[in-house]
Homo-oligomer: A and B are copies of this chain.
Amino acid sequence: MNRPGFRLPVVAGCALALLASAGCAVTLEGDGASTNQTTAPVALSSWNDGPVKATIVDFVDRVTREGGPDYVAPHNRVATFDNDGTLWAEKPLYFQFAFVYERIRALAPDNPGWANEEPFKTIIDSDATFPPGIVESDFLTLLVAGQTGTTQAEFAAQARSFLATARHPQLDRLYPELVYQPMVELLDYLRDHDFEVHIVSGGTVEFIRAYADRVYGVPPENVVGSSFAYEFRDTSAPPQFLRQPSLTVFNDSAAKPVNIQLHIGKRPILAFGNSNGDIEMLELATGGGGASLALLLHHDDAEREFAYDTGTERALTTAAQRGWTVVSMRDDFATVFPAQGR
């Protein structure tokens, strides 16, 4: 379903730039009443013309053509998108970890033992946004230390504050300004054609929700992610969810289709990822018989973003074997990030 009430450009300052350059639906939220101001859209204008853009447009044309052989009713037009590395950048490390490190530094005075305990010591001792020396086996410890032990309301406020202030060390932008403009346009394009767009990410669900609505137009109920255990407590008003130090869902690889089934209950007909952890989600989308489209974003643009294949090798091989569409950031993205209005 199209949810125009949720759509806002990434950053308030970029609204005019987007309107001028690309055309987009902008919803201005007032004190209850809202006004929809939609300019004539120039869909996918941040995509270069070429076989990839043609493949996307052709697919959407086919599944929306009533009476055509590939027609899919609107309620089955489900599209699922990975987040890190697909909708926004993910280097030098998943952006959520910049938030985790910020929280760990804030909590350090209350946890004096961390001064001599790895991996905390590395983070506390460093001024770097992404200190070197943190490895994947540290991730869970750090996530639990930095993202649990608060109420959900406190966590959401912390996440919003981080997203409004923290800047990427190399690209010098707020993290929500590091979404890919062509992808934001693709989400809009799909919704304009009555697709229901979901994010299916390995990141934790509430961190993504802290900006997905405003930045991607994806409402909270359409975000599937990893998650911690919650304890519901009604001893105070309002009732609270306490974030418990236990990761109950790690939404990667085969867990992605499983959680799509549990949360959505429909097979996506379009899935978009960028890494090995997205293979099963793309298999789900393409394994059902009817028209489907699997897309894989290849980070091959060292000049405007990053160029890397690590963590993507199997996905690229599988894409070649199965005929999935590989999107070249260098060749297919006319622009990478949204215009900045500051």
Contact = CB atoms under 8 A, between A and B. Distances in A.
A220 B73 contact: no
Interface stretch (A11-19, A106-114, A260-268): A260-268
A234 B75 contact: no
A33 interface: yes
A140 interface: no
A66 interface: yes
A265 B221 contact: yes
A220 B258 contact: no
A219 B287 CA distance: 22
A198 to B, nearest CB: 8
A209 B261 CA distance: 11
A265 B220 contact: yes
A262 B267 CA distance: 20
A302 interface: no
A221 B265 CA distance: 6
Interface in A28-82: 29, 32-34, 66-67, 71, 73-75
A219 B75 contact: yes
A6 B75 contact: yes
Interface residues of A, number: 48
A318 to B, nearest CB: 10
A131 interface: no
Interface string A186-215: 000000000010000000011001000000
A133 interface: no
A257 interface: yes
A283 B234 contact: yes
A108 to B, nearest CB: 29
A93 interface: no
Contacts of A67: 32-33
Q: How many copies does the complex hold?
A: 2
A90 interface: no
A311 to B, nearest CB: 20
A283 B239 contact: yes
A234 B238 CA distance: 44
B262 A66 contact: no
Nearest to A208: B265
Given A71-B32, A73-B34, A287-B239, A230 B66 contact: no
A3 to B, nearest CB: 7
B209 A265 contact: yes
Contact of A238 (B29, B209, B266, B289): B289
A237 interface: yes
24 contacts: A5-B73, A5-B74, A29-B73, A32-B66, A33-B66, A34-B73, A75-B219, A205-B262, A205-B265, A209-B265, A221-B264, A227-B262, A230-B258, A231-B254, A234-B280, A234-B283, A234-B287, A237-B287, A237-B289, A238-B289, A239-B284, A241-B258, A241-B261, A263-B263
Among all A-B residue pairs, the 3 with the closest Cβ atoms = A220-B265, A239-B287, A232-B254
Given A34-B73, A223-B265, A239-B283, 4 more contacts: A75-B219, A221-B263, A234-B287, A241-B261
